[in-house]
Amino acid sequence: MDGKEGKNWSGGVSLGLQSGMALIPYALLTAYRKLGLTGSETLLLIHLLSFRQVEAKDFPSLEELQAVTGRSASVIAGELQKLIKEGFLKIVAGSDDRQGIHYERYDFSGLYDKLGIYLASRNDAFAADDKSDLFRSGSRAISPEPGGIFSGDAPGEDASRSLFSVFEKEFGRPLSPMECETISGWLDQDRYPEELILLALKESVFAGKMHFRYIDRILLEWSRNRVKNAQDVKAYSQRFRGGR
């Protein structure tokens, strides 16, 4: 790099640093897929945070977001609606009595809450002793019963708080955004208890059918037969074996 290029480079760096810097939660960059976010949705959140921190704009327009993302207003609007619907963002209205103006701003508390819950679940998973793993051989929580589905007590409360971690461990890979949405749907829309989801996962492991459609069919079948907990699963298994 000659003297002129070096001067231009240093001048560019200086100008870039003077234009401002935004602080982005590192957990957002590493865990966005676990939260069910796509890359473009995550980038949109980063831009919104940057507008607030660097330009003091709490509610940038679609045109401003278009300029920095290069995407259409309709696509950006759709992503914003999804982020709001899923609780990552809120639009908060307010007013400045001294200036007599009303304003709106984006509230990121939902995003920070979700990141906090995820990080706490990861911490619980790392801190748990190996023998508390529901799916390790010799687990005391649930054990296979010859000819049936399960026997034993319900999964422990600590394990039930880290559904995503348990699924990832059993599948041996990170979950896709669609798979994360499926689990969230079981909890939020179908209202399946966490222990029942873990039991269905356990059944899929025993059956050697490790895919979400099979687990969903198990949960649907149990729901139709009013199976709601580990004791119901055991009773349903016994009826099934007895042909009643």
Q: What percent of the chain has pLDDT over 90?
A: 20
Residue 113 is encoded by which pair of tokens? 């809450």
On whether the CB atoms of residues 53 and 60 are closer than 8 A, the answer is no
pLDDT of residue 63 exceeding 90, the answer is yes
Name the strand (E) or helix (H) holding 96: strand 90-96
pLDDT in tens, 109-160: 999 999 888 888 776 655 544 334 434 433 333 433 433 333 333 443 343 3
User: Given this model, what pLDDT does residue 240 score?
Assistant: 63
Cα separation, 195 vs 230, whole angstroms:
7
pLDDT in tens, 173-186: 887 778 888 888 88
Cα angle for residues 89, 94, 96 (degrees, 5° grid): 145
Indicate whether this model's pTM tops 0.75. Answer: no
Average model confidence (pLDDT) across the chain? 76
Cα angle for residues 167, 170, 175 (degrees, 5° grid): 45
Cα separation, 93 vs 203, whole angstroms:
48
Closest CA to 118 of 148, 169, 161, 58: 161
User: Given this model, what pLDDT does residue 239 score?
Assistant: 74
Cα separation, 40 vs 76, whole angstroms:
9
Tally of CB atoms within 10 A around 73: 12
pLDDT of residue 8 exceeding 50, the answer is yes
CATH numbers and ranges of domains, the chain: 22-111 (1.10.10.10), 129-242 (1.10.10.630)
**CA 138 to each of CA 5, 30, 135, 143, 215: distance values in angstroms, whole numbers, following the listed order:** 66, 33, 8, 8, 23
- R_g of the chain computed on alpha carbons: 24
Cα separation, 150 vs 237, whole angstroms:
8
